[in-house]
Amino acid sequence: MGKPQSVSEYLSALPEAQEEALRSLRDTIRAAAPDAQETISSGVPAFRYRDRYLVSFGAAKAHVSLFVMRGAALKMLEEELLGFDTSNTVIRFPPDKPLPTSLVEKIVKIRIEEIDAREGDEHAEGDLN
């Protein structure tokens, strides 16, 4: 199968544990950002808010990930992320140990605030954050 054309197509192609973990993550993101639009970007599900990438998620062989794009969200939540495999823009976790819903909600809220703060920045037009 080629690149997925929809988030549902992406999810349905995954092993059951990854599909369940990412469907739950998707539901949490949707609830936290009801004005965001789902899309496929670079072959993975993503959410856009005000024409900027909010967050995305995906699956790898042994884990699933939440991509936080750019911004300060992960740095701001450093203590809450102890015990998770993180880098400056991604959180990786096993499908059977999902991210806490409250943590995902905080990340999405921080990203929305970052995008809203940049709304008037004419140089950010089309920016990926």
- The tens digit of pLDDT for each residue in 5-44 reads 999 999 999 999 999 999 999 999 999 999 999 999 989 9
Inside any domain, residue 49 = yes
Inside any domain, residue 36 = yes
Inside any domain, residue 56 = yes
User: 17-21, 69-73, 84-88: which has the minimum mean pLDDT?
Assistant: 69-73
Inside any domain, residue 126 = no
Inside any domain, residue 127 = no
Inside any domain, residue 58 = yes
Inside any domain, residue 121 = no
- What is the tally of structural domains in the chain? 1
pLDDT at 1: 53
pLDDT at 117: 92
The answer, as to whether pTM is greater than 0.75, is yes
CATH number at residue 102: 3.90.1150.200
Residue 129 pLDDT > 80, yes or no?
Answer: no
Inside any domain, residue 122 = no
Helix (H, G, I), strand (E, B) or coil at 90: strand
pLDDT at 3: 85
Question: What's the mean per-residue pLDDT of the chain?
Answer: 90
Domain that holds residue 18: 7-116
Burial 47-73 (b: 16+ CB within 10 A, else e): bbbeebbbbbbbbeeebbbbbbbebeb
